[in-house]
Amino acid sequence: MSEKEKEKTTISVIKADIGSIAGHHKVHPDTMAAAAKILAEAKRKGLIIDFYVTHVGDDLELIMTHRKGVDSPEIHELAWEAFKKAAEVARELGLYAAGQDLLAEAFSGNVRGLGPGVAEMEIVERPSEPIVIFMADKTEPGAFNLPLFRIFADPFNTAGLVIDPRLHDGFKFEIYDVYEGRYVVLNAPEEMYDILALIGTQGRYIIRRVYRKSDNEIAAVVSVERLNLIAGRYVGKDDPVAIVRAQSGFPAIGEILEPFAFPHLVAGWMRGSHFGPLMPVGLRDAKCTRFDGPPRIVALGFQVSKGRLIGPVDLFDDPAFDETRRLAQQVADYIRRHGPFMPHRLGPEEMEYTTLPQVLEKLQNRFVKEERRYKVHVKKPSSHSE
C-alpha cells in the first residue's frame, strides 16, 4: 500500500474560554461535562474516533481524533456546539465571562475567526505515534516561537539535529504575519538568521507550522488566532495550543520539553497587557491566581493508535521542572515591581485594544504643541555593510 493510500488520522485541538469560576481562574467541572457529553455522542455516531476534554486555567480544551481532515466543517461545528452547550451551563451557574471567546451567534462553517483557537494536523500514523499537546493560558501564540525554534533548529537543545540522520537535514518553518494575513516558509539551518529576524517579534510573526525538510512531513502546528485582531477590542488573551510529534524522525520527548525549562517572557498575564514568565505546570496547578497569572503552560503526552488517544501523561507534573517554576516566581516578583511601566506593561502597539486609546482621545486637546529647539537627524542606512 502506498503512502497516499494509507488511512490518515486528523488530530484537532480546539479551545475556547466559555466562562470560569471566580474571575479568569478555572473552568467549572460541569461545563467540561457538558462539552464531553456532546463529544461522546459524536464518538458513538462515528463522527470522531476518540476525544479528551480538559482545561488549562479558564480555557476549555477539546482534543479530538477523526478521519475528516483539517478544517472539516463537521468537526468544527461539533466543537462549536460543545462550546455553546458549555457556555449555557456557565451562564446558568453565573460564571464569569460566560461565552467570552464565542464572538459570533451562529456557526458559519469554520470556528476560525469566531473566537476559538485551533491547531490541527493530518498524518499517516507511524507504528508508534507519540505526540505532545501544549496548552497555554494568559498568553499569545507568539509564546511558542522561542521553544519551537529551539526544538527544531537549535542543536544545543536538540542533539538529534547533530547525531540523528533522520533530523540532520533540518526543518522548514511556516511563519505567519497575523497583521497582513500572509506567510513565508523558511529553511533551517540555511535561513536561520532570517527566521530569527521575524519570530523575535512575537506579537506579529508566529511560527504556525513546522515540517521535516527531507520529506515535507508535518512536525508541529500552532493556533495563531489573535482575539483582539478578530474582535477589534480586548476580549481576553489568545491562550494558544500546539501539537508536536515526537521520536522516530522527530525530536525526542525530552528535546521537545527542554526549552520550557527556561521560563521565557511572554505577552499576556493581567488583562493581556503585561509581560511575564511562562511557567510549565501540571494539570493540578493549571489555574492562574497571582495577578491573574503568571502565564501557564501544560504538556500532555499521548500515543495515537488507529486514531485512539492512549494517555495522557502529564509531562510537566515532574520535580525536574521545580527549579523552572521557582525561577518563574522570582522573575514574576522582579517584573511585577515595575507596575504600570514598561517593560512589564506591553508597548503601545499591543495596548491599542485596551483603554489607552480612550485616554489619549480624552487628553487630545490638552497636549500643547511646542516648536522644536533642536533638529532630529535620522541617519539613513548605508548601502553596504560595515
What local confidence, expressed as pLDDT, does residue 231 receive? 45
What local confidence, expressed as pLDDT, does residue 279 receive? 98
β-partners of residue 372 are none
CB 163 within 8 A of CB 155: no
For the question of residue 237 being annotated catalytic, the response is yes
Domain final residue, candidates 104, 123, 142: 123
Domain contains 354: no
Exactly one of 15, 17, 59, 239 is catalytic; name it: 17
CB 148 within 8 A of CB 306: no
pLDDT at 5 > cutoff 70? no
What local confidence, expressed as pLDDT, does residue 113 receive? 57
Assess whether 301 and 178 both reside in one domain. yes
Give long-range contacts, CB 8 A cutoff, 24+ apart: 341-348. Answer: 343/275, 344/274, 344/275, 344/276, 345/273, 345/274, 345/275, 346/267, 346/273, 346/274, 346/275
Assess whether 17 and 159 both reside in one domain. no
What local confidence, expressed as pLDDT, does residue 374 receive? 61
Domain contains 2: no
Domain contains 379: no
Exactly one of 8, 169, 194, 234 is catalytic; name it: 234
Assess whether 203 and 221 both reside in one domain. yes
User: For the chain, what is the domain count?
Assistant: 2
**Each residue's pLDDT tens digit, 191-210:** 999 999 999 999 999 999 99
C-alpha cell recorded at residue 319: 520535580
Instruction: Report the CATH number at residue 41.
Output: 3.30.70
- Going from the C-alpha of 299 to that of each of 16, 124, 312, 354, the distances in angstroms are 17, 23, 9, 31
Domain contains 374: no
Assess whether 112 and 160 both reside in one domain. no
- DSSP string spanning 218-280? EEEEE----HHHHHSS-------EEEEE-SSSS--HHHHHGGGGS--EEEESGGG-EEEE-EE
| Angle at the Cα of 256 from the Cα atoms of 172 and 325, rounded to 5 degrees | 135
Assess whether 65 and 165 both reside in one domain. no
Exactly one of 237, 238, 239, 292 is catalytic; name it: 237
Assess whether 210 and 238 both reside in one domain. yes
Assess whether 53 and 137 both reside in one domain. no
**Each residue's pLDDT tens digit, 46-58:** 999 999 999 999 9
The parent domain of residue 142 ranges over: 125-347
Assess whether 307 and 255 both reside in one domain. yes
For the question of residue 17 being annotated catalytic, the response is yes
Assess whether 15 and 77 both reside in one domain. yes
Domain contains 70: yes
pTM: 0.91
